[in-house]
Chain A
């Protein structure tokens, strides 16, 4: 990692990756647009694009047994000078739907960068398709990485996940959790607190039927935990008049308590939970974990949690030996945690993951003899360690309960090896077609 690792004290901006051609490590971690859209029960995805764009999503679908819910329309070079792209897409989608065993309730139609550069009239396409298939909810989706600086495809996908929800009468005691790819643990204080106050919680991750998904429109409020779900929350507020509360997934005690306070005050909750007991239990669990793991070096990557700097701070505060964070950019929300690390653990290392030199950091043939624990698949790959926590976007972790679960995962990672090579190359663990 010569020249690309930066110590916390030397970080003068939030960018760890300084630009240039980009590397892609074999560790996948996060869910892609193809995986996220599978969360809508019984929906069908149709992609329109060149084979180089279609192949990745087709094979992702094949990998999670989702090909029955996946189709595609191939774009060729001559389409670029042809003026009938709209008609071709309309006829292609019609042909696909007529071939399926049954017409799905929801179709996610993905355009790629080229449609937007050749100014394909997608309004016409969707209008015509809705006329032809009035019982199908058509959702416009985007595989447009070229436009990522304006709106990240991930953010756009998370907002379109809820685009098929329609205005419904609101239930005052029903609330949604939106934007996650894993359902949060029902043992978390978030669930406990809301259920204690009589709320029903809906989450796309747990919807089994399309009507259950549609009933999310009856919720009066959305809770989101990831910045990439902010667009979804804003759109639902504007379209369905659903309020939103942002409760970022964090690991330090003070911020977890801030979340609980915010939730209580926003919803005027009358019943509370005893956070002191939760904190004490969590501290005990942390101590037990520390006794087992000791000073084993720990690295964290950005695919494990959006708040990787906050997680690092939490672990450092509790005397764990976090020596490195793999990330390319640090979210401004993490600035205070970054400043804390700079002040208290200035030698903590930050490493990019897409710098071209990362290619030579590690290959699986170069084994390290020292035991290191990685939190996240990319950290596991770069450290070449089989001792890792396979955490993706915080998985089911939330609040104090999440910390206790993380402690269990750390102990497991310390005690047991995982088949890192085979685990890390599978995209979006847990996604099923």
Chain B
């Protein structure tokens, strides 16, 4: 049955995506929620919680305030906290109940901004969408608030030229930003640093990474001065589009997985390994992994399942569909339904996914020792946005050659 999970977990949600994306930028993020959301985010979704003093709080919504539609406490508490802590910006997100109540987050943000004179953003998250939506919305809004103002002040670079397929190499662009990075997809085990290092090793200068490892000011500088933006996750695409709108900066979407990622522009058509592989994970990272498996490990049949909300939007974009032969052959599914995923993995020989997905082949009425489930090979690829911190220590560095080395352990 659709929307039923009898053995799997669930992905991090949009409001945690907002908190994660803005975490390092010196803002104040308040989740309008009773209780629980703060605990889930800080316990499972935010590995930086122990070592960085970022301000993420809940409003402690009560039943009476919800029934009466009383926003006053929320507004007053945020103003008080902001006046004392002087954040660079304020972000307010919604949990499911305020969404039902029809809380006007944009209006509340305007009131708070007027009072505090601090840039304040209200996000209509609902706790029902996946985290990528929150990352995309928050960083795009951040760009609109801070970069657009900067561009309108007349100091912006003039519009760049280029295409969206592979402009970096065609235009000789050197300065780039990497967009859509959070620990939810890249953890804090070195992937973000390796990504930056990799692009610098192939001749680019990375101005900023949205949003790990840089300050808000560095993001604004990077946005203004880059020749190219690279969305390394589907969440990064909306940010890239916003920056293109503001500065005219072209963008591409890719995540370099495998040592030969940029060496071969086309896909190997000579794969001889017949085992069918299913990858479950974030869309653009999974596409990188697929390219690595096809070109470096001689596989010929690799399917991707991306259960994230923005994956389907990504697929709906003509420019990606036409230019990306990795998804041309209809082997990219965007379902988050347990029964659909079960159906797709039924024909797989090898599954690469977060360890919690192993239950789809190890737990169930049809999964005994003699079933086909037992014949499948499962390669654990921990994903913080799915299993939180549980498999944190087993998460590999998967950027460029690191992925090749990691996959060699299994093939």
Contacts and interface: CB of A to CB of B under 8 A. Distances in A.
Contacts of B14: 52
Contacts of B85: 356
A51 B12 CA distance: 7
A286 to B, nearest CB: 35
B57 A22 contact: yes
The 3 closest A-B pairs by CB, nearest first: A52-B127, A56-B40, A52-B13
Interface in A87-104: 88, 91-92, 95-96, 99-101
A363 B388 contact: no
A365 B52 CA distance: 9
Contacts of B318: none
B4 A21 contact: no
B357 to A, nearest CB: 12
Contacts of A51: 10-13, 127-130
A99 B1 CA distance: 10
Contact of B50 (A52, A88, A421): A421
A147 B63 contact: yes
A26 B34 CA distance: 18
B172 interface: no
Chain B interface mostly: mixed
Given A23-B57, A50-B13, A55-B12, 7 more contacts: A21-B78, A51-B128, A67-B363, A71-B7, A77-B128, A146-B34, A363-B52
B237 to A, nearest CB: 22
B145 to A, nearest CB: 21
7 contacts: A21-B30, A51-B129, A55-B10, A55-B40, A77-B128, A95-B4, A117-B97
Contacts of A118: 100
A143 B36 contact: yes
Contacts of B50: 26, 363-364, 421
Interface in B61-102: 61-64, 66, 77-78, 80-81, 85, 95-97, 99-101
Contacts of B266: none
Given A52-B13, A146-B62, A149-B63, A363 B53 contact: yes
Interface in B327-365: 356, 359, 363-365
A256 interface: no
Contact of B128 (A75, A100, A143, A363): A75
B126 interface: yes
Interface stretch (A57-65, A169-177, A260-268): A57-65
A76 B9 contact: no
A54 interface: yes
Contacts of A80: 99-100
A62 B30 contact: no
Given A50-B126, A59-B44, A99-B364, A360 B53 contact: yes
Contacts of A24: 38-39, 41-42, 58
Given A72-B10, A425-B43, A145 B34 contact: yes
B363 to A, nearest CB: 6
A364 B81 contact: no
A67 B53 contact: no
Contacts of B15: 52
A117 B3 contact: no
Interface in B10-31: 10-16, 30
Contacts of A96: 4, 6
A150 interface: yes
B111 interface: no
A112 interface: yes
A332 interface: no
A186 interface: no
Interface of A: 19-26, 28, 49-56, 58-59, 62-63, 67-68, 71-77, 80, 88, 91-92, 95-96, 99-101, 112-114, 117-118, 143, 145-150, 356, 359-360, 363-365, 421, 425, 427
Nearest to A44: B6
A94 to B, nearest CB: 8
Given A22-B58, A360-B53, A148 B34 contact: yes
B10 A26 contact: no
A340 to B, nearest CB: 31
Q: How large is the interface on B (under 10, 10 to 19, 20 to 34, 35 or more residues)?
A: 35 or more
A21 B57 contact: yes
A74 B336 CA distance: 11
B63 A26 contact: no
Contacts of B64: 149
Contacts of A28: 39, 43
A132 B261 CA distance: 55
Contacts of A62: 9, 356, 387, 390
B4 A101 contact: no
B188 interface: no
A355 to B, nearest CB: 10
A21 B34 CA distance: 11
A97 B364 CA distance: 11
A432 to B, nearest CB: 15
A20 B9 contact: no
A357 B42 CA distance: 16
A246 to B, nearest CB: 27
Nearest to B76: A20
A54 B389 CA distance: 16
Contacts of B151: none
Nearest to A427: B43
B312 to A, nearest CB: 14
Given A59-B9, A99-B365, A21 B58 contact: yes
Contacts of B315: none
A356 B128 CA distance: 26
B173 interface: no
A19 B77 contact: yes
A427 B97 CA distance: 25
A12 to B, nearest CB: 21
Contacts of B101: 117
Interface in B122-156: 126-130
B35 to A, nearest CB: 4
B209 interface: no
Given A50-B96, A59-B9, A356 B55 contact: yes
B311 to A, nearest CB: 15
Nearest to A91: B1
Query: Which among A99, A149, A364, A425 has the greatest number of chain B C-beta atoms within 10 A?
Result: A99
Contacts of B34: 113, 145-146, 148
B108 interface: no
Nearest to B62: A149
A257 to B, nearest CB: 38
Given A50-B13, A71-B6, A356-B81, A365 B1 contact: no
A425 B97 contact: no
A96 B145 CA distance: 46
Nearest to B128: A50
A96 B8 CA distance: 12
A76 B63 contact: no
B37 interface: yes
A58 B66 CA distance: 26
Query: Which among A49, A51, A117, A427 has the greatest number of chain B C-beta atoms within 10 A?
Result: A51
A8 to B, nearest CB: 25
Given A58-B10, A113-B96, A52 B16 contact: yes
A75 B80 CA distance: 34
B10 A54 contact: yes
A50 B53 CA distance: 28
A100 B14 CA distance: 30
B61 A146 contact: yes
Contacts of A50: 13, 95-96, 126-128
Given A53-B36, A117-B97, A146-B61, A92 B126 contact: no
